[in-house]
Amino acid sequence: MIIGLTGGIGSGKSTVARAFAERGIAWVDADDVAREVVAPGEPALAAIRQRFGPTVIAEDGSLNRGALREVIFEDPDQRHWLEQLTHPLIRERIVATLQRLEAGSSPYALLVSPLLFESGQAALVDRTVVVDVPTDIQLSRTLQRDAVSEANVRAILDAQMSREARREQADDIIDNSGDEAYMKRQVASLDQAYRAQFSV
């Protein structure tokens, strides 16, 4: 069985996923897969270069994600083009990875994806968990973590599904606005419930 884990930028999805992993749960990160499909030598990277020019390519030939982010979050049409290119490729690789995870020993697996609902990846999972924090925490955490401007973070927040809409679609919610111990207690409770549910 597959659990979809999502949340807005700066919500702490990866931290929550690692807490599940500490309890023996396998996971695949859609962000990691997204990086793979635009790696040097991949057809998607060539298409991106052709569309946006050399400014979005780093000196080592890899994608300059910061430069591309600035372009696509200022122009919704460009973001739409990029999503049309990459989302099917990401989905294909996620499906293959999940099939491998399902054959393993983990009682269930996580699909960690910031765009779980927006990209249609929710159709791949049996249940959804939203990692939720107030918007001001998202902003401060992202500014602390990433070398981006506040305007850029706000553009990303505006482009993502609203906090309210994400919560409405969730089967379960983890409040990640407290300390690590509080988050881990919630993870432990959900893990116990999922193990009981999926062992039936």
Q: At residue 48, what is the residue type?
A: I
Q: Where are the alpha helices (DSSP H) in the chain?
A: 13-21, 30-37, 43-52, 65-74, 76-102, 135-145, 150-159, 163-169, 180-198
Q: How far apart are the first and last CA of the chain?
A: 12
Q: Determine if residue 15 is labeled as part of a ligand binding site.
A: yes
Cβ burial of 23 (10 Å; 0-12, 13-18, 19+) is middle
The answer to whether the annotation marks 199 as part of a ligand binding site is no
Q: Is 177 annotated as a binding residue?
A: no
Contact by Cβ (8 Å): 63, 52: no
Residue 144's Cβ-count burial label (10 Å; 0-12, 13-18, 19+) is exposed
Is 4 labelled as part of a ligand binding site?
no
Residue 113 marked in a binding site: no
Centre a 10 Å sphere on the Cβ of residue 195 and count the other Cβ atoms it contains. Answer: 14
For residues 69 and 63, the answer to whether their CB atoms sit within 8 Å is no
Residue 32 to residue 110: CA distance in whole angstroms: 14
184 annotated as ligand-binding: no
Instruction: Give the annotated binding-site residues for ATP.
Output: 10-15
Instruction: Give the annotated binding-site residues.
Output: 10-15
